[in-house]
Amino acid sequence: MTETFESRGRVPRVPLRITLVAVLVALVAVALAATAVTATSLLKQYLLDQRDAELRDTARNYTRLDGLLQLCLAEPAWPQPTPTYVACLAPDDADPIVLGGPRLAARDMPEIDEDTADKLRSGAGPTTVDSDGPTNWRMASEELPDGYTVIVGSDLRGDARAIGRLVRIEVVVGLVVLALLGAAGYLLVRNSLRPLAEVERTAQAIAAGDLSRRVPAGDERTEVGRLSTALNGMLSRIETAFRAQQISEEQARSSENRMRRFVADASHELRTPLTSIR
């Protein structure tokens, strides 16, 4: 019953070559994942820094335009098509006065609430603003006279597409590298452990009674080579001891046979005089 429970609870052993390759692939996968996450984060931050610098320059350029404040006060009903989002924030009013922007759906335009408006007025630096759609915006601001603030923004769809493309490339390249590494590692480990298969076959032959078999000698600089040398030395001593034991047993049997013949001869010689006396 104990053996049954032990056999049921025993975890199936995985071949050594499979274990080594799996560990190698797992370590490389972790390294590739860490590298990919780091590269993606650095690229995302770089693109964001570039976008922030462009938005600051654009906001400063708008503050130098003559008539910008009058345009904000006029509150145009139809914003002009521009590549960047341009608007004004009136004092104590979170609703932006849109002066221009790209032709996008209303749900893709930035949603500026009270907190976002206060942050833009404070001049704390560029900030990310969400929309009702999938588009996010990066926005910067500069002060205007009379408490007004000009804000400019740029949607981050281009950055998101670039980062998404990088992630896809990293995944594909990572899978290809892992597949090639797994195949190369399996071949390398199999060739490296091939002498162990010779050791296994030699042990099977010795177990069958062939004590003259030896393990093929390997390079002494490798673990398998040193193992082969040690096994050959051990097998030589075992064979010598076994041969000596066989010789000793044969000598013992020969001595026993001679003793039996001597006893039989002595008994015969003693029996003949006794018969004559009778």
Q: Give the C-alpha distances (Å, rounded to integers) separating 196 from 186, 200, 217, 227.
A: 15, 6, 11, 9
Assigned CATH class of 67-161: alpha beta
The confidence score (pLDDT) of residue 1 equals 45
| The pLDDT of residue 121 is above 80 | yes
- Residue 150 · residue 86 · CB < 8 Å: yes
The model's pTM is 0.65
Identify the pLDDT of residue 2. Answer: 47
Res. 79: pLDDT tops 90:
no
Across the range 164-173, mean pLDDT stands at 94
Section 67-81 average pLDDT: 79
Q: How confident is the model at residue 165 (pLDDT cuts 50, 70, 90)?
A: very high
Chain segment 35-72, per-residue pLDDT in tens: 999 999 999 999 999 999 999 999 899 888 888 888 88
| Degrees to nearest 5, angle at CA 82 with 79 and 58 | 115
pLDDT at 180 > cutoff 90: yes
Confidence of residue 277 (pLDDT cuts 50, 70, 90): low
Domain boundaries, the chain: 67-161, 195-277
Mean of pLDDT values over 176-202: 84
Q: How confident is the model at residue 32 (pLDDT cuts 50, 70, 90)?
A: very high
